[in-house]
Structure 1
Amino acid sequence: MKIRKNILPRTLTDIGCCLLLSLGIPVTFIFEITVLLPEFHDYGSPLYIMTLVAGIFLVFNIKTNMLTCMFTDTSIRHEVLDPPADTDELEGWRFCSTCESYAPPRSWHCVVCKTCILKRDHHCMFTGCCIGHRNHRYFMMLLIYLFIGTTYTTAYNSVYIWWFRYNDFVNFTTILKLICPMLMFTLDTSAINLFLLIYMLNVIGFLQSLVLLVYHWKIISHGAVVYERKAPKYNLGWKRNLEMVFGKRWYLVWLSPFVSSELPNDGIHWEQVLKESDKMK
């Protein structure tokens, strides 16, 4: 894995989103295991231990996939770019005047990252970097575990707020706070606001991760990136499409981002993939 020299977000939007995800995950986790978990399961019971272990596993994969995504350099920098000699296979190669280099097919320049990205999918605000050939796997696993984690916590929080503490939360004031979160700082300053704030963050995280996961999963299942979603040209069937993102050991990458899974393509030469895709049409 090639490491990015500067992993810090470059824009205010990236900084804000990256901080929200970086701080929101551990804060929510601590809140869930210290406040909510004892309300549902007796300390030390099998269910308590199973839920705690599952929570640790989820947080571990969310944080490590996020960091691995940010650290992985998926740009054309330090790459040996060797355009094919056959003029018929030069389709898609272009000269990037900003990078002062030839960029291979499926590579686009990012004005934020200030470089061309191999098989560029999009620029992610929550990681502050582009998602491309080498870190697409980590981005998708981040989305998957975010969805599972927020589904998990939203379910627990919903039961706790609307059932266990029905008398404290089911009122008109709570509805106003959910509609306009700023009222949490003006109507009252009780601990109830903390419960509502974390609940809202989990619901928003659940909805956003669900939408993004469905959107991106549909794209990669057709062997495409965001820019190619309307006319996929590199569709090799669902299994090989998954291998292009998750690697040859795609069925094991859910365990950890540290599980080795070699990609079947170098991210530069797509001529053979395009020919195979054309044959399958």
Structure 2
Amino acid sequence: MILRSWDKVRPRCFADLSCLLLLVVFIPVTYVFHMTLVLPELFGVGSFWYTVIWVAAQFLIFNITANLLACMLVDTTIRMELLKPPLDPDLRARWHMCNECQALVPPRSWHCEVCNVCVLKRDHHCRFTCCCIGHHNYRYFVYFLLYLMIGSFVAGILGGIYLWNVHFDFFYRPFTLITVFVPAVSLTLSPSWESFYLLTYLLTWLAFSISTSLLLVYHWPILKLGSVAKERRSRNYDLGLRANMEMIFGRRMYLTWLSPFVHSELPHDGINWEPVLTHLTKDD
């Protein structure tokens, strides 16, 4: 694994900076809100359910932030190693010239205009991580979305109980309806902790909706076929569900959910790709 230098991690456009700042502010604020206000009021401090949810929250916040950082720091560009085109003419024919990088790049590697470099097995440029998602950091991106989805769902449920059950006498008021539809405006015109709580609650469900849509609706069909966004309808590299998952999460994929620090070597170098049909022809 090769890490990118900090000057390569920084946002390169306003859209990247805005999305990253949203995460940097939203995640810790939501965590503090639920740990200091919601959880102690719903469950007695030190009780069984308080302890269970507290421990689960630490696991979730660790994996959300650690996988986000790993996704940003792990280099998956063609700069990570010296590329040597194969001598075999059939394999070399699959490589193509990138005019922007002025280099011969391997198959499934495409140039990113934001990062200004070709990325190995490039899927897409993620605004929230300010980098491209490719062969070596796809694992961390998937786990970031997965734990963000789980964490925001749990936080949304607990926050809903806190707002609409424990404090129903206060939040069942006309101003609540206005805050729900225009939370940022309400917080600006009538700043209060109650408006801030509602804004946090709404952002939690927004995070759940976005992460669920990206992971289950958009990326899962791609993941299970072993493809990337640009090959969405292609099965050229489909090795079967287990092999496709191993190509993303590595040989120890059953342990990778524990932490991004769990070493799990990928079975492919991300460079010399051959379509499945080529393998079948050689076997025949």
Q: Which category describes the TM-score, using the shorter chain as reference length?
A: over 0.9
Counterpart CA distance in 1 for 2:282 and 2:150 is 38
Q: Offset at 1:166?
A: 1.3
Q: Which one of the candidate residues 220, 227, 236 is aligned to 1:217? A: 220
State whether residues 233 and 277 of structure 1, in contact with CA within 8 Å, keep that contact through their aligned partners in structure 2. Answer: no
1:246 corresponding residue in structure 2: 249
- Counterpart residue number, 1:170: 172
Question: Over aligned residues, Cα RMSD in angstroms?
Answer: 1.7
The aligned counterpart of 1:155 is 157
Q: What code does the residue aligned with 1:3 have?
A: L
Q: TM-score, normalised by structure 1?
A: 0.95
Quick check: 1:71 aligned with 2:81?
no
Listed as ranges, the matches of 1:132-281 within 5 Å are: 132-185=134-187, 188-214=190-216, 215-271=218-274, 275-276=278-279
Q: Deviation at 1:272?
A: 6.7
Aligned pairs (5 A) from 1:9-48: 9-48=11-50
> SS in structure 2 opposite 1:77?
helix
Decide whether the 8 Å contact of 1:118 with 1:132 is kept in 2.
yes
The percent of aligned pairs where both chains have the same amino acid is 47
Between the aligned partners of 1:42 and 1:192, the Cα distance in structure 2 is 22
Which residue in the other structure is 2:3 paired with?
3
- Structure 2 unaligned regions, length at least 5: none
Task: Give the CA deviation at 1:188.
Answer: 2.5
Matched letter for residue 42 of structure 2: F
Distance 2:282 2:261 in 1: 35
- Paired with 1:200 and 1:277, the residues of 2 have a C-alpha distance of 51
Secondary structure at 2:9 match in 1 = coil
| Runs of at least 4 residues off by over 6 Å | 277-280
Shift of 1:159: 1.3
CA–CA separation in structure 1 for the residues paired with 2:188 and 2:256: 46
How far has the Cα of 1:277 moved from its partner?
Answer: 6.9
User: Residue 24 of structure 1: CA displacement?
Assistant: 1.3
Aligned length: 280
- Asked whether the 8 Å contact 1:234–1:277 carries over to 2, the reply is no
Match of 2:117 in 1: 115
Using the TM superposition, give the Cα deviation of residue 78 of structure 1 relative to its aligned residue in structure 2, in angstroms. Answer: 4.2
Query: What are the ranges of 5 or more consecutive residues in structure 1 without an aligned counterpart?
Result: none
1:126 CA drift (Å): 0.5
More displaced stretch, 182-191 vs 105-114? 182-191
TM-score (norm 2): 0.94
Q: What is the CA deviation profile of residues 260-280 of structure 1, one whole-angstrom value per residue up to 9, with x for unaligned ones?
A: 000000000012756347799
Q: Distance in 1 between matches of 2:45 and 2:207?
A: 28
Note if contact 2:68-2:140 (Cα within 8 Å) is conserved in structure 1: yes
Distance 1:277 1:257 in 2: 34
Q: Which amino acid aligns with 2:249?
A: F
Distance 1:222 1:157 in 2: 37
Task: Check the 8 A contact 1:235/1:277 in 2, yes or no.
Answer: no
Do 1:248 and 1:262's aligned partners in 2 also have CA atoms closer than 8 Å? yes
